[in-house]
Structure 1
Amino acid sequence: MPVTSWQSLHDGWSLTAVRNPEMPENPEVPESVASARVPATVPGCVHTDLLAAGLVPDPYLDEHELALAWIGRTDWCYETTFQWAAGGRNGERVELVCAGLDTVATVVLNDVVLGRTANMHRSYRFDVSGALRIGDNVLRVRFDSAYRYAEEQRERLGGRPNAYPTPFNFIRKMACNFGWDWGPELVTAGIWQEIGLRTWRTARLAEVRPQVTVADAEGRVTVRVEVDRADGESDGESDGKSGAEPLTVRATVAGEVAETVLAAGQRTAELAVTVADPELWWPRGYGEQPRYPLTVTLHAGDRELDGWQRKIGFRSVRLDTAPDEHGSAFTVVVNDLPVFVRGVNWIPDDCFPHRVTRQRYAERLRQAAEANVNFLRVWGGGRYESEDFYDLADELGLLVGQDFLFACAAYPEEEPFRSEVRAEAVEQVVRLASHPSLVLWFGNNENIWGWHDWGWQAELADRSWGAGYYFELLPAVVAEHDPSRPYWPGSPWSGRPDIHPNDPAHGSMHIWTVWNQLDYTHYRDYLPRFVAEFGWQGPAAYATLRRALPGRELAEDSAALAHRQKAGDGRLKLARGLAAHLPAPRDFDDWHYLTQLNQARAISVGVEHLRSYRPVCMGSVVWQLNDCWPVTSWAAVDGDGRRKPLWYALRRAYADRLLTIQPRQGGLALVAVNDGGAPWTGRVDVTRLTLAGEPRGKATVALSVPPYSELTWPLPADVGSSDDPRSELLVADPGGTAERAFWFFAEDREAAYPPADYDATVEPAPDGVRVRVTARTILRDLVLAPDRLDPAAEVDEALVTLLPGESTTFTVRSAVALDPAALTTRPVLRYVNDMVPKQ
Structure 2
Amino acid sequence: MKTFLLNGTWQATNVRTGEGYPAQVPGFIQKDLMEQGVLPNEYDTLFEPKIEWVEHDAWTYRRSFELSEELLASEALEMVFEGVDTFAEIELNGKAIGSTENMFMSYRFNVKGIAKARNELVVRISSPTETLKEKEKAFGEDLFLWNGISPRLFGRKAQYGYGWDWGARVATVGIHKAVKVEGYEQLRGEHLGYRLTSISQDKAIVNAHHKIVNVRGTAFEAEVTYTIYDGEQAVAVKKETVSAAPGERVYETSLEIANPKRWYPLGHGEAHLYRLVVEVAAKDASYALDCSVGLREVKIKMPYDEQGRKFLIEVNGISILCKGVNWIPLKLWPNLDTAEEYRQEIEDIAAANMNMIRVWGGGTYENHDFFAECDRLGIMVWQDFMFACGDYPDDDAFSELVRKEADFVLDEFGSHPSIVLWCGNNENMFFIERSRKKRKHGFGEKLYFDVLKEVCRKDTLRPYWPTSPYMLTFDDSRYEGDYGDLHSWYVWGQTHPYEEYREVNGRFLSEFGMQSYPSMKVMDAVDAEADLRDPKFDAMQKAPNGIQRLFYYTVGDYRLPATKEQFVYVNQLLQANALRFGVEHWVSRMPDTSGALIWQWSDLWPSISWALVDYGKVKKPSYYYMKRTFQAPNVVAKITPGQAEATLHLIHDNGDFEGQVTIEFYDLATDKVVKTEERGVKAYGHRSTELDKLNVGGFDAATTIVFVNLLSSGGERLARQAYTLGKPHQLKLKPAALTVTTKPLENGDTLISISTDAFAKDAGLLNVVGTLSDNYFDLVAGETREVVLKGKLPEGFAIEAASLNGVKTIGYV
TM-score, L = length of structure 2: 0.92
- How far the C-alpha of 1:11 sits from its partner, in A, is 3.8
Q: Does 1:557 align with 2:533?
A: yes
Query: Would the alpha carbon gap of residues 462 and 553 (structure 1) be closer, same or farther in structure 2, given more than 3 Å must change?
Result: farther
After superposition, the C-alpha distances for 1:81-110 in whole angstroms (9 at most, x for unaligned) are 111233797771111111101000111111
Letter in 2 for 1:829: A
**2:606 paired residue number:** 630
Letter in 1 for 2:741: V
Which of 216, 232, 244 is matched with 2:200 structurally?
216
- Which aligned pairs between 1:769-788 and structure 2 lie closer than 5 A? 770-776=752-758, 778-787=759-768
- Which aligned pairs between 1:118-267 and structure 2 lie closer than 5 A? 118-133=101-116, 135-157=117-139, 158-166=141-149, 167-217=151-201, 218-232=203-217, 243-254=218-229, 255=234, 256-263=236-243, 265=245, 267=249
- How far the C-alpha of 1:500 sits from its partner, in A, is 4.4
Which of 345, 364, 367 is matched with 2:326 structurally?
345
Query: Would the alpha carbon gap of residues 691 and 622 (structure 1) be closer, same or farther in structure 2, given more than 3 Å must change?
Result: farther
**1:755 paired residue number:** 734
**1:416 paired residue number:** 397
- How far the C-alpha of 1:690 sits from its partner, in A, is 5.7
Q: Does 1:474 align with 2:457?
A: no
- How far the C-alpha of 1:814 sits from its partner, in A, is 1.6
Query: Would the alpha carbon gap of residues 260 and 362 (structure 1) be closer, same or farther in structure 2, given more than 3 Å must change?
Result: same
State the alpha-carbon separation in 1 of the partners of residues 50 and 809 from structure 2.
Answer: 44
Q: Does 1:675 align with 2:650?
A: no
- How far the C-alpha of 1:427 sits from its partner, in A, is 0.5
State the alpha-carbon separation in 2 of the partners of residues 761 and 72 from structure 1.
Answer: 49
Contact 2:736–2:806, Cα closer than 8 Å, also in 1? no
Which of 12, 22, 39 is matched with 1:15 structurally?
12
**3-state SS in 2 of match to 1:578:** helix
**3-state SS in 1 of match to 2:452:** helix
Contact 2:148–2:164, Cα closer than 8 Å, also in 1? no
Give the percent of matched residue pairs that are identical in Structure 1 and Structure 2. 27
State the alpha-carbon separation in 2 of the partners of residues 798 and 770 from structure 1.
Answer: 11
State the alpha-carbon separation in 2 of the partners of residues 403 and 700 from structure 1.
Answer: 46
**3-state SS in 2 of match to 1:725:** coil
State the alpha-carbon separation in 2 of the partners of residues 367 and 794 from structure 1.
Answer: 7
Contact 1:186–1:351, Cα closer than 8 Å, also in 2? yes
Contact 1:11–1:80, Cα closer than 8 Å, also in 2? no
- How far the C-alpha of 1:419 sits from its partner, in A, is 1.4
- How far the C-alpha of 1:251 sits from its partner, in A, is 1.6
- Which aligned pairs between 1:641-680 and structure 2 lie closer than 5 A? 641-663=617-639, 667-677=645-655, 679-680=657-658
Equivalent pairs counted in the alignment come to 789
**3-state SS in 2 of match to 1:160:** coil
Q: Which runs of 5+ in 2 are unaligned?
A: none
- Which aligned pairs between 1:54-453 and structure 2 lie closer than 5 A? 54-86=37-69, 92-133=75-116, 135-157=117-139, 158-166=141-149, 167-217=151-201, 218-232=203-217, 243-254=218-229, 255=234, 256-263=236-243, 265=245, 267-301=249-283, 303-452=284-433
Contact 2:310–2:591, Cα closer than 8 Å, also in 1? no
**3-state SS in 1 of match to 2:591:** coil
**1:814 paired residue number:** 793
Contact 1:699–1:715, Cα closer than 8 Å, also in 2? no
- How far the C-alpha of 1:622 sits from its partner, in A, is 0.6
State the alpha-carbon separation in 2 of the partners of residues 126 and 471 from structure 1.
Answer: 32
After superposing the two structures, state which structure 1 stretch, 175-184 or 245-254, moved more. 245-254
Letter in 1 for 2:219: A
**2:560 paired residue number:** 584
State the alpha-carbon separation in 2 of the partners of residues 497 and 483 from structure 1.
Answer: 26
Contact 1:502–1:508, Cα closer than 8 Å, also in 2? no
State the alpha-carbon separation in 2 of the partners of residues 131 and 530 from structure 1.
Answer: 55
Letter in 2 for 1:177: G
Which of 773, 776, 789 is matched with 1:799 structurally?
776
After superposition, the C-alpha distances for 1:702-737 in whole angstroms (9 at most, x for unaligned) are 122335232222435xx3223643333433233553
Contact 2:144–2:431, Cα closer than 8 Å, also in 1? no
Letter in 1 for 2:224: V
Query: Would the alpha carbon gap of residues 51 and 424 (structure 1) be closer, same or farther in structure 2, given more than 3 Å must change?
Result: same
- How far the C-alpha of 1:159 sits from its partner, in A, is 2.2
**3-state SS in 1 of match to 2:63:** strand
TM-score, L = length of structure 1: 0.89
Letter in 2 for 1:43: P
Query: Would the alpha carbon gap of residues 261 and 578 (structure 1) be closer, same or farther in structure 2, given more than 3 Å must change?
Result: same
**3-state SS in 2 of match to 1:97:** strand
**1:22 paired residue number:** none
After superposition, the C-alpha distances for 1:172-210 in whole angstroms (9 at most, x for unaligned) are 000001111111100111111111111122122244332
Which of 610, 619, 629 is matched with 2:595 structurally?
619
Letter in 1 for 2:250: T
- How far the C-alpha of 1:692 sits from its partner, in A, is 3.7
Q: Does 1:567 align with 2:552?
A: no
After superposition, the C-alpha distances for 1:263-287 in whole angstroms (9 at most, x for unaligned) are 3636332211111112111111111
Cα-Cα RMSD? 2.5
**2:723 paired residue number:** 743
After superposition, the C-alpha distances for 1:447-493 in whole angstroms (9 at most, x for unaligned) are 013433xx5445x646851111111111110112x122111001111
State the alpha-carbon separation in 1 of the partners of residues 171 and 689 from structure 2.
Answer: 51
State the alpha-carbon separation in 1 of the partners of residues 49 and 669 from structure 2.
Answer: 50
After superposition, the C-alpha distances for 1:614-644 in whole angstroms (9 at most, x for unaligned) are 1111111111111111111111111222211
Contact 1:604–1:649, Cα closer than 8 Å, also in 2? yes
After superposing the two structures, state which structure 1 stretch, 414-423 or 74-83, moved more. 414-423
Query: Would the alpha carbon gap of residues 526 and 442 (structure 1) be closer, same or farther in structure 2, given more than 3 Å must change?
Result: same
State the alpha-carbon separation in 1 of the partners of residues 44 and 551 from structure 2.
Answer: 25
